[in-house]
With several copies, the nearest count.
Chain A
């Protein structure tokens, strides 16, 4: 008897066996082993003909089926704990199939639930420090931090004042400044449009610098950007931190 298989993606030999058993509409506890083994081998042959790689697990199962088939022809040994009962050579396989089938069915249920709940959104926690009323619980803040902070302010200032002397144009934007500006904006706002980052009458240079800053922030994995179609507005979004 030969069955035409449609090319299905079976998860493993147990999956394939279950499929064959269901198709043949036979009792899982009383599998007609030679018939099923035959179909199983045909399927493997078919896969090979289609140049599909047959995973080793499938071959192991094929050997097992053939072994069970031959054992079925021999006188069956008695069970150790109950000598009146014969050991069915199919028993172990049946147990495995039943176990696997349980989870396979549950998988469908999980899949349904997953499809619902993956469409649900969660909001990130509010920035906590805004809610603090006193600092009595400050930890990790030391006087050294104060010194460090002031030092860095002073340093920052001294470099920026040097720059001021050299530069003539007032409206000069650097990528670094833009990155800082955007980062500051990101603290309070998680989503904004690209064009919110500069004036309506901003010159081309500023737009380019802003765009470079955005690219850099994307690279640093701080934001994601998205655009639904060409020339559409670019949406900039803060990446959720996993803290």
Chain B
């Protein structure tokens, strides 16, 4: 297979899958090593973006997935249905950003950083599948620990947790 055909096959695969397909699976199905597949997909992602295609490829934790472009939102919504989108409250976003950086983290630790109770934020984030209960800490009270999901990465356009911007050591002037 030449590169053009590989790309063509990948298109078909991503289309059929709908969901994210891991690099590993793609490599297996194509019988091509992962690093080559990765290179080819990266080229495809660029082409899709340059050509302003109606579908784009996003990467989430070494998996790839098709999705539409945010700028076509209004048309697509007209065809499908208004997605049940209630944005996230400030409290939920704060909680989410703390979990993102500090995971795995307990509720008590989140409360401590925010200075307020985060219970309801945590349960809303769980409902939205942005964080999940990753187990219990082996310490007194065996508190639940929380981590972010792949869905979190997807919804925030992050490839992986390493892509989180480094937190700045802030100083007062920046305020």
Give A residues with C-beta under 8 Å from B.
9, 11-15, 18, 21-22, 25-29, 55, 57, 61, 96, 98-107, 109-111, 113-126, 128-129, 131-147, 149-151, 153-158, 160, 188-191, 224, 226, 235, 237
Contact = CB atoms under 8 A, between A and B. Distances in A.
B80 A114 contact: no
Interface stretch (B38-46, B83-91, B135-143): B83-91
Contacts of A117: 70, 154-157
B163 interface: yes
B52 interface: no
A158 B24 CA distance: 42
A140 B174 contact: no
A116 B175 CA distance: 25
B77 interface: yes
Contacts of A114: 87-88, 93, 155-156
B170 interface: yes
Contacts of B17: 123, 125-126, 190-191
Interface of B: 12, 15-21, 58, 65-71, 73, 76-77, 79-91, 93-94, 96-98, 100-101, 113-117, 128, 130, 154-158, 163-172, 174-175
Nearest to B13: A121
Contacts of A146: 93, 96-97, 100-101, 156, 164-165
Given A14-B115, A114-B155, A21 B175 contact: yes
A29 B88 CA distance: 32
B86 A139 contact: yes
Contact of A137 (B18, B68, B84, B115): B84
19 contacts: A11-B94, A12-B116, A28-B171, A28-B172, A29-B171, A103-B94, A103-B114, A106-B167, A107-B93, A114-B87, A121-B73, A122-B65, A123-B16, A123-B66, A126-B80, A137-B87, A146-B164, A153-B97, A160-B115
Contact of A29 (B15, B86, B130, B172): B172
Q: Which 3 A-B pairs have the closest CB atoms?
A: A12-B116, A125-B18, A119-B70
Contacts of B98: 103, 150, 153
A48 B108 CA distance: 28
Nearest to B118: A12
Given A103-B97, A125-B19, A151 B88 contact: no
Most buried by A among B65, B117, B155, B164: B155
Given A104-B94, A144-B165, A224-B81, A129 B171 contact: no
